[in-house]
Amino acid sequence: MIDLSMKAIQIDRYGGPEVLVRRELPVPEPGPGEVLIELAYSGVNFMDVHTRQGKYATSQTYPVRLPTTLGMEGAGTIVDVGNGVQGLSAGDRVAYCLVWSSYAEYAVVPAWRVVKVPDALTLERAAASVFHGFTAHYLAHDVGALRPGSTCLVHAASGGIGQILIQLAKRAGARVFTTTSTEEKALVARSKGADVAILYEDGRFADAVRDATGGKGVDVVFDPLGKATLRDSFRATRKRGLVVSYGSVSGSVRDLDPIELGEAGSLFLTRPRLADHLQDADAIRARADDIFSALIDGSLKIDIGGYYNLDNVEDAHQALENRTMIGKPLLALGSDPGLNQGGPPCPTRHPASPSARSCSPRPQPTPSSPRGPRPSRRCAARRDGARGTRKAR
């Protein structure tokens, strides 16, 4: 067996960005029902920040324990498959989410969680779309059940999930209200199709929504922020409406009395998680087919908020925590050797302007940007070694 190592970022304790540790680790072996992926990109998102902070330390839905390799979404090329894997083989370009360890050059992933990336789609855009795209998809279609004539309010509208949620809501025929913290971010929301963009203004967004709906409020509020907005989200919701609390970026609400929902108009409050809406391979493929198809035909745009690498991923975490990130940040780990050069171009950093193009040729690497395409020598050696090892068994 060939002894190979890979670069990865792990945490041994919880805390701020300073707890990230860079390590050389052995390239993992896929077990039965698993595939080994050479990663081209890892998505960066708030779940990475929450993992680092210890918010999943006792979670049963996301049982992440220390030590762990950060990152739970990625895209790349399969270089080895475990026993019993069907429909996937070395060389397939794939993407996945909700499996921790994507802040690394290689990752082992259960085969049922993996989806193939169409030839017309870059691994870059696939990596940017799986976690945020799947999340927005289940929120809009399964939880919010948006349809023609629905009204909804999308908080954090310039973020990765928010931008996609606006577009899916508009596709479903809903009237979309949005909130952002700055006028610059409001421009981004409008560029994605928001009918109304409002600043938070210490909760006064609820009054603006009420005014714009004739005093009624919206059918559904999508709230990823938690403590800073949840009670004002109640005020922005119509009687017997639905408030979807799908995150706690601003902090958890720990003093909520259910009677508040009654006083606010007999509201429904739910706290869903993506894992419960991706319970089998069929559900994952169905969401991937919808999101990937929309990306390819141009009806869905996903903007990249910035490119990072294993040496500066702390900057991405800081931008997320400071709420200065606009769009989806990506961690660049390698190349996309299977890219169909005739397919759609890759997105660049979003300049927060509705007139900016979401997709343009990828910029050349600079000293402060991720490294460019690298030869896949490790990949080839890993495949040869793995195949030889399995034959020896």
Q: What is the CATH number of the domain that holds 235?
A: 3.40.50.720
Question: 288 — alpha (psi -120 to 50), left (phi > 0) or beta?
Answer: alpha
Q: Please report whether residue 138 resides in a domain.
A: no
Considering the domain architecture, whether residues 126 and 165 belong to the same structural domain is answered as: no
What is the residue range of 201's domain? 147-271
Considering the domain architecture, whether residues 260 and 292 belong to the same structural domain is answered as: no
Domain closes at, from 250, 271, 292:
271
- Measured distance CA(115)–CA(133) in Å, rounded: 13
Token duo for residue 17: 């960005």
Q: Please report whether residue 51 resides in a domain.
A: yes
Considering the domain architecture, whether residues 220 and 284 belong to the same structural domain is answered as: no
Let me know: does 325 contact 49? Beta carbons within 8 Å. no
Beta strand 93-97 pairing with 115-116 = antiparallel
- Measured distance CA(157)–CA(159) in Å, rounded: 6
pLDDT in the model for residue 360: 31
- Measured distance CA(210)–CA(272) in Å, rounded: 25
Considering the domain architecture, whether residues 108 and 206 belong to the same structural domain is answered as: no
Q: Please report whether residue 136 resides in a domain.
A: no
Considering the domain architecture, whether residues 57 and 74 belong to the same structural domain is answered as: yes
Beta strand 237-245 pairing with 268-270 = parallel
Considering the domain architecture, whether residues 320 and 243 belong to the same structural domain is answered as: no
Q: Please report whether residue 142 resides in a domain.
A: no
Let me know: does 230 contact 247? Beta carbons within 8 Å. no
pLDDT in the model for residue 337: 54
Considering the domain architecture, whether residues 181 and 224 belong to the same structural domain is answered as: yes
What type of residue is 85?
V
Query: What contacts 227, CB < 8 A, 6 or more positions away?
Result: 248, 250, 251, 252, 253
Domain count across the chain: 2
Single out the residue of 352, 341, 330 nearest to residue 74, CA to CA.
330
pLDDT in the model for residue 348: 35
Domain closes at, from 240, 271, 302:
271
Considering the domain architecture, whether residues 95 and 172 belong to the same structural domain is answered as: no
- What is the 8-class DSSP label of residue 27? P
Q: Please report whether residue 198 resides in a domain.
A: yes
CATH number at residue 41: 3.90.180.10
Considering the domain architecture, whether residues 264 and 229 belong to the same structural domain is answered as: yes
pLDDT < 50 positions in the chain: 1-3, 338-393
pLDDT in the model for residue 336: 67
Q: Please report whether residue 316 resides in a domain.
A: yes
pLDDT in the model for residue 334: 84
Let me know: does 295 contact 125? Beta carbons within 8 Å. yes
Q: Please report whether residue 178 resides in a domain.
A: yes
Please state the pTM of the whole predicted model.
Answer: 0.86
Domain closes at, from 237, 271, 305:
271
Instruction: Give the start-end residues of each E strand in the chain.
Output: 5-11, 21-26, 34-43, 68-69, 73-81, 93-97, 106-110, 115-116, 151-154, 175-180, 196-199, 218-223, 237-245, 268-270, 304-308, 328-332
SS3 content of the chain, % helix, strand, coil (to 5): 30, 25, 45
Using one digit for the tens of pLDDT, what is the confidence trace for 253-302? 999 999 999 999 999 999 999 999 999 999 999 999 999 999 999 999 99
Considering the domain architecture, whether residues 88 and 116 belong to the same structural domain is answered as: yes
Q: Please report whether residue 139 resides in a domain.
A: no
Considering the domain architecture, whether residues 163 and 281 belong to the same structural domain is answered as: no
Considering the domain architecture, whether residues 287 and 386 belong to the same structural domain is answered as: yes
pLDDT in the model for residue 378: 43
- Measured distance CA(293)–CA(391) in Å, rounded: 39
- Measured distance CA(378)–CA(124) in Å, rounded: 21
Beta strand 151-154 pairing with 218-223 = parallel
